[in-house]
Amino acid sequence: MSLRQWFRPGLLGLHAFAAVALVACVVMGLWQLGVYDSRQEHERADSQTVPRVALDGLWGADDPFESRLNQRPVTIDGEFAPADEQIWVAGKVQDGRTGVWLLAPVKVGDAALAVVRGWAPAVTEFPDVPAGQVTIEATLQGGEGGGAPFDPKTREIGAVRIPALTNELPYDLYSGFAISTTAEVSGGLALADPPTKDVPWTTGLRNLAYALQWWVFGAFALFMWWRMTTESVAAAKPKVA
């Protein structure tokens, strides 16, 4: 087919309409995708602005770890157990490096809460624990699964598995643990990064669906332009006797 036939005056309007429709569909789809991303960010921000409350009154040692507690910022008033009862948790990645968490039992009343004091690139000697009553700002986490079993020689475990730790520590443990954000109790270690809360991809799903819908419209407009143009050019082609 000749390019002159494609760009004859009778088809210029169709080309212009198709170009405008395609650009409009792409822009509208990108706008709806941006709205979807914004709703995801707002949901993530909302989850990070939960007010910090005292552990006492929010969660008891004999209570299960509920979803409302996950990544909840709290203030813990308690006393560290002896330093030799601390445990290293292997396989913890921070700033692109794999290292260990230092996990310490903090006595809260008649029970104890496992608290991550900080992160280190490798297992070392246990740092001393703060003496006396302390106040720790921390983020609650549910117990982990998997990982290597507890090694009593190195006092190392592959994950913060509360049932396994209950067998190794002489305390009534809370059913979850906490990651400290208080540098004063880190023992010189880097503070561990609390994991960010996952936002369901379905948050803002309607906007994501609208974005896909606009792009489908754009693809359909492109198809119809191609079909109508090729049929018009074919019809205008001289018939061979």
If asked whether residues 179 and 219 sit together in one domain, one would say no
Residue 133 counted as domain residue: yes
Q: Which domain holds residue 118?
A: 71-185
Task: Tell me the pTM.
Answer: 0.66
Q: d(Cα 76, Cα 99) in Å, to the nearest integer?
A: 25
Residue 191 counted as domain residue: no
What pLDDT is stored for residue 72 in this prediction? Answer: 92
If asked whether residues 117 and 206 sit together in one domain, one would say no
If asked whether residues 77 and 145 sit together in one domain, one would say yes
Contact 180, 115 (CB under 8 A): yes
Residue-wise pLDDT tens for the chain (241 aa)? 466 777 777 788 888 988 999 999 999 999 998 888 888 776 665 555 678 899 998 999 999 999 889 889 999 999 999 999 999 999 999 999 999 999 999 999 999 999 999 999 999 999 999 999 999 999 999 999 888 999 999 999 999 999 999 999 999 999 999 999 999 999 999 999 887 666 676 777 788 888 899 999 999 999 998 888 888 877 777 665 5
What pLDDT is stored for residue 220 in this prediction? Answer: 92
Please count the other Cβ atoms lying within 10 Å of the Cβ belonging to residue 11: 18
Cα torsion 113, 117, 121, 122: sign: negative
If asked whether residues 103 and 159 sit together in one domain, one would say yes
If asked whether residues 107 and 178 sit together in one domain, one would say yes
Maximum Cα interatomic distance, the chain, rounded to a whole number of Å? 105
Q: d(Cα 132, Cα 46) in Å, to the nearest integer?
A: 35
Residue 195 counted as domain residue: no
Residue 241 counted as domain residue: no
If asked whether residues 85 and 173 sit together in one domain, one would say yes
If asked whether residues 7 and 88 sit together in one domain, one would say no
Q: Match 């006492």 to its residue by tokens.
A: 56
Residue 194 counted as domain residue: no
Residue 75 counted as domain residue: yes
What pLDDT is stored for residue 38 in this prediction? Answer: 81
Among candidate residues 241, 226, 240, 238, the one with its CA nearest the CA of residue 18 = 226
If asked whether residues 75 and 179 sit together in one domain, one would say yes
- Domains of the chain: total: 2
What pLDDT is stored for residue 210 in this prediction? Answer: 87
What pLDDT is stored for residue 47 in this prediction? Answer: 55
